[in-house]
């Protein structure tokens, strides 16, 4: 398939237009240089260090501790606590997440939350800071490297401005990040094994950890808006991905999160891998956090049903093609499940309006029938062009 490009054409394609297309006057130099250094060191100096000096358990443990502390501070603190107010936290939890959150070098909690609230409000549109419609790379990292317009006012975080801890961290974010995020690993590494240990602390618990946590956050903005399923809504690009949840402390269930942003859970199903949700639940048992916000099961199921109904809205030609290509039996099954879905939807909606509790058995039955229909729709979408 691929035809070799002549040299001149290749050079033109690879270099000249690319470089000339970069809006140099709009580069955010401080952030760009920092990210370039971190990424370069993580991909060169870190492997070289491990190859040369090996990896002892102390350095591995130090990396692991800083990775977990920083990662959870972003997901549990910056994201679910400060951006979405999905639970209330006592000062030690706030303080810990603000201190280690700063070490991710993702800006102060105040800045981060302002961007993130804009993302939810304007998702997939121009005012979304990491708008996926501008491309995967833009949503992943490009939005940090360039400033397209003038600085937007931060008028959506006035509640956080009233929190003295948040404002203290906003003021001292960079010194905290440098001393706690790099200084402490260097000091501990030095105390463990001298200069080589200090270098190891800098490169592993410092550089490699910042690299890992940052790309984990970036993946939520890029990958979780492009790869995965949309069981709760197709209103925006956000997607659920169990694989991404593994790399993002449970934030991969992004379709659910965009639909129900105030829920302290992102992976709402019991089986979902969401260590941030488990940590918040554990902190509640320890009395350190309270008022965990949960969307009622009925509301979640209604969203799932609504989305399945939308997918099942077919025109006459599409109905005809089911019978013609897959047979009358399949068409009958489609209608049977579609009728069940409508009846279940109406029953749950009515119970909710009348504030009547729906039994567990009925809920499970509705859920099972909805997923059975959703599976049939996926099968039909694979076998026939059904996009409604």
Q: How far is the CB of 154 from Zn ion (least distance, A)?
A: 17
> Toward Zn ion, which CB reaches closer, 238 or 289?
238
Cα angle 124, 125, 129; round to 5: 85
**CB 72 within 8 Å of CB 249:** yes
Give the range of 105-113, 175-183, 238-246, 372-380 binding Zn ion by CB under 5 A: 238-246
Nearer to Zn ion, 293 or 367 (CB): 293
Residue of 115, 261, 99, 88 lying closest to 166 (CA atoms): 99
Least distance to Zn ion, CB of residue 280, Å: 14
DSSP 212-266: HHHHHHHHHHHGGGTSSB-SS--SSS--B-HHHHHHTTTTTBHHHHHHSTT-S-S
To which residue do tokens 């140099």 refer? 24
Hey, how many other C-beta atoms are within 10 angstroms of the C-beta on 122? Answer: 13
Residue nearest to Zn ion (CB): 238
Give the CA distances from residue 263 to residues 77, 202, 283, 361, 375, in Å, rounded to whole numbers and listed in that order.
14, 37, 16, 24, 26
Spatial distance between the Cα atoms of 5 and 3, rounded to a whole number of angstroms: 6
Residue among 12 and 229 whose Cβ is closer to Zn ion: 229
Q: Name which of 63 and 82 has its Cβ closer to Zn ion.
A: 82
Tokens encoding 266: 């992102």
Residue count, binding to Zn ion (CB under 5 A): 1
**At its nearest, how many Å lie between Zn ion and the CB of residue 53?**
40
What minimum distance in Å lies between the beta carbon of 61 and Zn ion? Answer: 31
**Taking the complex as a whole, how short is the minimal distance between the CB of residue 238 and Zn ion, in angstroms?**
5
Query: Among residue numbers 182 through 221, which ones bind Zn ion (CB under 5 A)?
Result: none
Q: Kindly state the smallest distance separating residue 170's Cβ from Zn ion, in Å.
A: 19
Q: Which is nearer to Zn ion, 124 or 163 (CB)?
A: 124
Of residues 123 and 377, the one with the C-beta less far from Zn ion: 123
Per CB under 5 A, residues contacting Zn ion are 238
């Amino acid at each position: 398939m691929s035809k070799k490009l002549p040299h001149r054409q290749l050079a033109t394609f690879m270099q000249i237009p690319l470089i000339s297309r970069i809006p140099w006057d709009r580069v955010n130099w401080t952030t760009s240089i920092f990210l370039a250094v971190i990424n370069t060191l993580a991909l060169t100096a870190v492997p070289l260090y491990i190859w040369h000096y090996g990896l002892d358990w102390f350095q591995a443990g130090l990396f692991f501790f800083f990775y977990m502390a920083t990662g959870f501070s972003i997901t549990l603190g910056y994201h679910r606590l400060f951006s979405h107010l999905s639970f209330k936290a006592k000062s030690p939890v706030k303080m810990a997440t603000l201190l280690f959150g700063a070490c991710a070098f993702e800006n102060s909690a105040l800045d981060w939350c302002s961007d993130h609230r804009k993302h939810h409000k304007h998702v997939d549109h121009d005012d979304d800071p990491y708008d996926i419609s501008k491309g995967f790379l833009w949503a992943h990292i490009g939005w940090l490297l360039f400033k397209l317009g003038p600085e937007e006012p931060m008028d959506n975080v006035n509640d956080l401005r009233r929190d003295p801890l948040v404002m203290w961290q906003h003021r001292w974010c960079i010194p905290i990040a440098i001393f706690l995020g790099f200084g402490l690993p260097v000091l501990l590494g030095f105390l463990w094994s001298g200069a080589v240990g200090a270098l190891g602390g800098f490169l592993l618990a410092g550089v490699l950890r910042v690299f890992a946590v940052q790309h984990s956050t970036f993946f939520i903005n890029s990958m979780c808006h492009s790869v995965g399923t949309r069981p709760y809504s197709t209103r925006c690009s956000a997607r659920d991905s169990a694989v991404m949840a593994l790399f993002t402390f449970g934030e991969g269930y992004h379709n659910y999160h965009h639909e129900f942003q105030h829920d302290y859970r992102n992976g709402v199903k019991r089986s979902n891998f969401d260590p941030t949700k488990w940590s918040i639940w554990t902190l509640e048992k320890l009395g350190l956090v309270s008022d965990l916000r949960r969307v009622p099961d009925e509301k979640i199921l209604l969203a799932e049903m609504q989305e399945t109904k939308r997918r099942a809205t077919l025109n006459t030609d599409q109905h005809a093609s089911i019978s013609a290509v897959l047979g009358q039996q399949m068409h009958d099954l489609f209608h049977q499940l579609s009728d069940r879905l409508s009846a279940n939807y109406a029953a749950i909606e009515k119970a909710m309006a009348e504030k009547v509790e729906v039994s567990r058995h009925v809920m499970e039955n509705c859920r099972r029938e909805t997923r059975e229909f959703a599976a049939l729709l996926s099968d039909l979408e694979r076998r026939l062009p059904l996009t409604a």
